[in-house]
Structure formats: structure tokens, C-alpha cells
Structure 1
Amino acid sequence: MTIIPEIKSFAEDLTAIRHDLHAHPEIGFEEKRTAAIVAEALKSYGVDEIHEGIGGTGVVGILRGTGGDGRTIGLRADMDALPMEEFTNLPYRSTNPGRFHGCGHDGHTTMLLGAARYLAANRDFKGTAMFVFQPAEEGLGGARAMIADRLFERFPCDEIYGLHNMPDLELGEVAVFPGKAMAGAKFFDIRIKARGSHAAMPHNSKDPIVIAMALGQSLQSIVSRNVNPLKPAVLSITKFTAGSAYNVIPEEADLGGTIRYFHDDVGELVATRIREIAAGFAASYDCEIVVDIRDVFSVLENHEAETDALREVAVEIVGEDKVFTDPRPTMGSEDFADMLHAVPGSYCWVGHGGTMPLHNPGFILDDGILPIGSSLLARIVEKRLAA
């Protein structure tokens, strides 16, 4: 493994930053403390321009190389935590109840800061490096908020790169491949408005819980009986809320969940069938059913030339035997996809050999990943903007 020596020399500083961010997690569009730390760090490194409040709480840093004018390479990291409790008992565990960096975004932010620190001290490149610290990746539309705030009009960019930690890979392993890599996603909420009654007299009700249970079962047939089996899709019901007492049949019941897909027509098909089946249930049970389906994530598709460039850098940093280029698409989603719709680029996964999956309350990020990720991000700038 060939970590950039200067980055390796300040690896302890990166660990300290990461631990501080981990102890003070903030969820989407609330990352005020995190953004302030990022902006102050960029300033201390000597980054030329620092722009705050992009898309809410986003931060953009601009660094010009000494080789003169040229192309602009963007590097992006997400900053937000998850709205969940942490069960790790780490000495730097979350001090904010109901907030936890259970997806490693504290590590991503730190890696990009490490790349910025190195590049600010080693500007022998032709063009500009752009550091994009994005809020609200976890399903709240942070990338779209930055783009709507004219991110790429205000800060034109020729290519953009991002990465994500991956506990399913060993420390130092990298997965990167072109094409469709992460699924698009929609979130849905379904409210059943029926008629409540005394639980001992169910004949006086139009029981929304019975309706919701039957509807949930019927929705599971959409993927198996409506979607072409050669086009992957997932429909998961993740929320079921109804009632507050043992002896009361409630007036309403709520279902919620997600749709995942790699083809936009499949996403639309599943959404249409949810609405049609819900309408049929409303007619059959003589009740009102309100369906709200929201497009949250686009399909993430890596561009071929930029993926080749990222692969070459990964081979240089971690070695050819640790770089996997066979397609490994995942049904997980990532809103960096929207940036890749606007600007060509690529996204990779960097291993750290964790024992717990992402979004698990026991998830722990291995700090050994920090100088590896920083080196990958810094070197892609140096390679693509070689003087």
C-alpha cells in the first residue's frame, strides 16, 4: 500500500477530527457545527475560497494549482449523521441523543479534509480542485439542494469524484466499476382513513388495521408478478403505525416504505401499481386511502473514462490485487447520483474490515481508512490535473 507520505504523517490529526465529528453528530440540514469545523479547517489549510450555506448547510472550497488555469476536478463528501441511537460504548461515542454517525459520513468528511490539507500544501497541478461538503445525504435531498442552489453554475466543474466506506471489504480494498452501481429509490407513505369503534364491537368499524395488513400483503406481489424478473426491484414496507389503546379500533393506519430499482421505468411501474392497488382496496373496503410517493434518489451510474482514472489511482495507492473492478451493484442508494447526472465522474467503495453493517447501532468505522481515502481523493486531482 502506498499512502501519500505527507498524509500519513498527519493521520493522527485526521483521527482526532473524525472522533470529534463522531461525538457531535448532526442530521440532514442541521450540520451547522460540522460545517463550521469544515470551513475553519479549510481556512487554516490556506484554501483560496470558502463558500458556506450552499444548499442549506453545505460548504464548498476552491483551491487553485500553481500550474495556471486548467480544468476543475470536484471532490465530494457527505456530512450528515443518522437519526438513531449509538450502541458502541466508544470513548468518543455520540453525545447527541438520537443522533449517530452510523454510516461513516464523519469519516468521509475527514478524508476530504485530509485531501484538502495535502493539496493546499502541494499545489503543483494545472487547474482547480473543488471540495464539496454536502449536507443531508440520508434521504433528505442534500445533493439536489446544492444543485438547486446553482452549485455547478457558481462553481463549474469538469469531473467529480466521491467514495464511501464499506465494512464488507477488507481494510485497503477498493471496489470501483463503470455503469449502474447503486439503485434509485422512492419513499412512500400510505394513510388509510376508515372508521374506528370499540374493540369489542368490531362490526361497528371499518377496521383500518385489517385493511392495512391486507394491503401490505398485496403490495408484495408487485415485484414478483408485475416487474420483469430481468430488471431488479425491491419493495419494502418499513413502517406500520396504528392505534394507541388495547380496546380501541383506531380511525386510521399508516404504512410506509421504499422502492429500489435500476431502471426508471421499473420505479414508475411499481409506483403506479401501488396507487392502483390502494385505489382498489379503498373501493373494496369503502374507505379512503391516500398515497404519497416521492422520488428521493436517482440511479447512480459511474462514467467510464472517469472510472478508469479512479481505478488507476486506486491501483497506485492500494495495489492491483486489492482493486475490484467486477460489477457489484447494490440496492442501496446514494444521492451523489444526482451530481453524476450533472457532471461526469465516478464513485468507489473503500474497505475497512468492520464487523457491523452500515446503519447498525453497533457500526464502528476503522480509522485506518482515513489516510487511504484522503490519498485516493488527493491523487485523483493530481493525476487529472497533471501540470
Structure 2
Amino acid sequence: MSVLEELRSHEAEYAKWRHEFHRHPELGLEEVWTSGVVAEKLKGWGIEVTEHVGRTGVVGVIHGNLGPGRTIALRSDMDALSMPEEGSCEWKSQNQGKMHGCGHDGHMTMLLAASEYLSQHRDFKGTIVLIFQPGEEGAGGALEMMKDGLFKRFPCDEIYGMHNWTDVPVGQVRCRHGATMAGQDFFSIHLKGKGSHASAPHLSADPVLAASLLVTALQQIASRNIAPLDPAVISVTKIHTGSAFNVIPETAEIGGCTRFFSNETGELLRKRIREVAEHIAISCGVSAKVEFDPIAAVLMSDPKLSDAFLAAAREVVGDANADFAELPQMASEDFSYLSQEVPGAYCFLGGQAPYGAKNLHNPCFDFDDRVLAVGAAIWVTIARNRLAA
């Protein structure tokens, strides 16, 4: 019986685990219940467990029975999104305003399933480190774990990450060499002016006008400052100002995010956003304070490790169902910070949920249970291949 066949015989159980995670979503660095369930399962399989790594992170360690060797890390994220769930599944979120809209419930389940299998089949040389990371959705969970000494306490030679992806056909796998996912910054622009009665705008220094001009001007940065073949995005996603129809307020705030595929481009975006904000503010007689919060670096996949990851995937799903992606993804992942410290590779596992083209971060999203065993089998295969005696 193949690894995939054996894991598929437990798929109904894995689905139950996943549904429980889905019912109880927790936001980044607040995954107390979630990390408790993960730790309890790992301990039950005789795996060494360390809790509270980076606040709510969990690390498991499995030693092979064939002596010392390399150490391979497998990583899953755990957090949910701050958004209401609008789907109709039986395992719908019980935590109001929170939902697993990105599939991290499935990611945890796949790595747990692989962990159980590997704990029972230790015929390998070396060590497997299981990283259940909090706070991937902009909460800085990877950096929190690293600040807490993740790789000093658990030295690793290689690290691998996996994400479900609705743009990839169900059960198929895509990998990349080099740039795999975009770097990302959050930005906030705080504008301060002078309020007045709406009937006397000449007595004001209007931050609403400045904010309106700024939203439009920011859209010109990518088209006029970044080379056309260098992908970059600036998205303004929020504007907060005012509370009355007849009052020009004193303050306004703009927020959004950037995406980029090189450190140089990311730095240029920061420079130009700051310059454009400050000069538009001056033209409107207001002040501007610009702040950036780095969320993810550019995720770079090591070519040799990507080859190994793809080879492992092909063992599981067949040569025709695993290949290299032509283009990187504009979405971001803080796995990028982990793979800056330890050579790593990342892959995308195709799935549709609820079995029909629902994008990630969609209020109706639900992980595709049909690929739980597939993802777990890929985890098992890459670990065993890299730790073969």
C-alpha cells in the first residue's frame, strides 16, 4: 500500500479534525485553543512538543530510528481571518467575525496527518521539525517565532511550506524556482490639517481633499516609477475621516498595502509613497506622517529544494499533475522570513471549495477536503526522501 493509499484510508478522520479547526477560528497570535489541540495530538503520538514558541506557536520534533542526519522542517500556519463567514457548511465558524477563509485549517490538518504517519514510521536518518506557526495573516507570526529563538532552539538544514490554491486544478501541485510570492508592506498615511465649518472651506486646511488627491496620485507610482516588466502593486484599501455632513475634519487616514518581487522595488515604493504623500500634503496646507509595517519579504524558493519538492509531489500525484508554475503569485507569505534564515521551498496544492471556484479570503470559502490526504502524503514523501539513509 502506498503512502497516499494508507493516508486516504483515514481521510474521513482527517476531515473531522479539519472541521473542528474550522468551527473554532482564532486570529493571529491568539490561537490558544488551536495550538492546544495541535500540541495534544502531537503528544498523543509520542512526538516531542514545545509550546508557546513565538507566543502561540507549537514545534514538534520526530527523531528517526536510523541515527543522526540532516534536519528537515515542515511548516503550517494556524491563524484565521477577521471576517464573517457567509457559507452554509455544517462546520461553519462559531466565533463571530472570524473564519478560516484561507485554508489554514486544512494546512494544519495535512501536517498533523503527516506527523502521525511519520511518528509511526521512523525508518529514516535524522530529524523532522514540525512548525505550527501563528499569525501568518499580517500578525508577524514567523518573526515572533524567530525572535523566540526558533532556529537556535531547533536548528534546521531545510524548510518546506505548502498552501492550498484555487487557481491550480484539484489535486495538482505547482512549484517555483526563485521568486515564488511577493513581498508586502502595509502602509498608513496620517494627514493632519485644520477643521472648519463646511460653509467656510477657505478657513480650513482640508485633509479630506489631500486624502482624495493622494489616493489618485499613489496609483501613478507603479505605472510611472517601476519598470513595466517588474511587477508591483499599490492598493489603497481604507480611508477614515470625518463624522458629520457639515464639518471639515482635522484629520484623515489612508491605509493600504504594496506588493513587489525585489528588495530594490520594495524600497523604491516606500520612497515614492513617502515623497508623494508629503508633497501633496504641503500643497493642501496639511501635514503627512507615513508609516510602513513590513508584512512579508519576497518568498524565494531554493532551486535545488524546489526540484526535490516537485519530485516528491510527482511521486504522490504523478508526473502529469505536478509541474513548475510559469509565474509567481502576487499574494504574500511570511514563510519568506523563515526561508531567509534556512534554505527553503514552497509549493501550491490545487483545491476548490466548496467544490467550485471560490477564491481565498472569500466569506464563502471552505477548504477542499478531497486533497487532505494528498497534502499529507507530499509532506511525508519530501521528509522521507530528504532523510533517506
Cα distance in 2 between the residues matched to 1:78 and 1:28 = 10
For residues 325 and 130 of structure 2, what CA distance do their matches in structure 1 show?
29
The answer to whether the Cα contact below 8 Å between 2:206 and 2:286 also exists between their aligned partners in 1 is no
Q: Which runs of 5+ in 1 are unaligned?
A: none
What is the CA–CA distance in structure 2 between the aligned matches of 1:211 and 1:283, rounded to whole Å?
Answer: 9
Q: One-letter code of the match for 1:278? A: A
2:222 aligned partner, one-letter code:
V
**C-alpha distance in structure 1 between counterparts of 2:276 and 2:43, whole Å:** 55
What is the identity, as a one-letter code, of the residue corresponding to 1:6?
Answer: E
Q: What are the superposed Cα offsets for residues 134-173 of structure 1, whole Å, 9 maximum, x if unpaired?
A: 0000011111111111101110111111100011122211
The equivalent of 1:5 in structure 2 is 5
Secondary structure, counterpart of 1:281 in structure 2:
helix
TM-aligned CA deviation for residue 369 of structure 1? 1.3
Tell which deviates more after alignment, 360-369 or 78-87.
Answer: 360-369
Contact 1:102 1:363 in 2 (8 A): yes
CA distance in 1, matches of 2:18, 2:243: 41
Given residue 56 of structure 1, which amino acid in structure 2 is its aligned partner?
R
The structural deviation recorded for 1:237 is: 0.4
Q: How many matched pairs?
A: 386
Q: What does 1:1-387 correspond to in 2, within 5 Å?
A: 4-47=4-47, 49-354=48-353, 355-387=357-389
Amino acid across the alignment from 1:5: E
- Between 278-287 and 16-25, the greater mean CA deviation after superposition: 278-287
SS of the residue corresponding to residue 220 of structure 1 reads helix
Q: What is the SS of the residue equivalent to 1:157?
A: coil
**C-alpha separation between the residues in 2 aligned to 1:52 and 1:364?**
28
Give the CA deviation at 1:4. Answer: 2.2
Q: Tell me how far apart the structure 2 counterparts of residues 218 and 384 of structure 1 sit (CA, whole Å).
A: 50
In 2: Cα distance, 1:278 partner to 1:166 partner:
36
Aligned AA (2:361) = H
Classify the secondary structure of the residue corresponding to 2:359: coil
8 Å contact kept, 1:3–1:371: no
Residues 42 and 116 in structure 2, CA contact (< 8 A), matched pair in contact too: yes
Q: Is the 8 A contact 1:313 1:376 kept in 2?
A: yes
CA distance in 2, matches of 1:179, 1:235: 23
Give the Cα separation in 2 of the matches to 1:362 and 1:324: 29
Residues 19-66 of structure 1: CA deviation (Å, up to 9, x unaligned): 00000000000000000000000011111x100000110000000111
Moved over 4 A (4+): none
Q: Tell me how far apart the structure 2 counterparts of residues 283 and 382 of structure 1 sit (CA, whole Å).
A: 61
- Following the alignment from structure 1 to structure 2, what is the Cα–Cα distance between the partners of residues 265 and 304? 22
Deviation of residue 201 (structure 1)? Answer: 2.6
Alpha-carbon deviation of 1:3? 5.3
1:350 CA displacement: 0.3
Report the secondary structure of 1:350's partner residue.
strand
Q: Deviations over 1:306-335 (max 9, x none)?
A: 111111111110011111214320110000
Q: Give the letter aligned to residue 220 of structure 2.
A: S
Deviation at 1:72, TM superposition (A): 0.7
Deviation at 1:282, TM superposition (A): 2.4
Between 215-224 and 319-328, report the one with greater CA deviation: 319-328
Distance 1:267 1:215 in 2: 19
Aligned partners of 2:173, 2:90: CA distance in 1, in Å?
29
Give the distance between the partners of 1:141 and 1:288, measured in 2 at CA.
29
Instruction: In structure 2, list runs of 5 or more residues that go unmatched.
Output: none
Question: What secondary structure is seen at the aligned counterpart in 2 of 1:368?
Answer: helix
Q: Is the 8 A contact 1:3 1:372 kept in 2?
A: no
Determine helix, strand or coil for the equivalent of 2:369: coil
Identity over aligned pairs, percent: 48
Distance (whole Å) between structure 2 residues aligned to residue 302 and residue 81 of structure 1: 25
Equivalent position amino acid for 2:7 in 1:
I
Report the secondary structure of 1:97's partner residue: coil
How far apart, in 1, do the equivalents of 2:352 and 2:99 lie?
20
Distance in 2 (alpha carbons) for counterparts of 1:385 and 1:190: 49
| Distance (Å, rounded) in 1 between the aligned partners of 2:161 and 2:192 | 44
Q: SS at the partner of 2:304?
A: helix
Q: Report the Cα distance in structure 1 between the residues aligned to 2:211 and 2:10, rounded to whole angstroms.
A: 55
Question: After the TM superposition, which of the residue ranges 145-154 and 323-332 deviates more from structure 2?
Answer: 323-332
Query: Counterpart amino acid of 2:131?
Result: V
> With structure 2 as the length reference, what TM-score do the two structures score?
0.97
Q: For 1:169-214, what per-residue CA distance to the aligned partner results, in whole angstroms no more than 9, with x for missing partners? A: 2221100121101010111000111112222332222221111000
**d(CA) in 1 for partners of 2:368, 2:281:** 50
Q: Over aligned residue pairs, what C-alpha RMSD do you find? A: 1.3
Provide the rounded CA distance (Å) in 2 between the counterparts of 1:139 and 1:326.
25
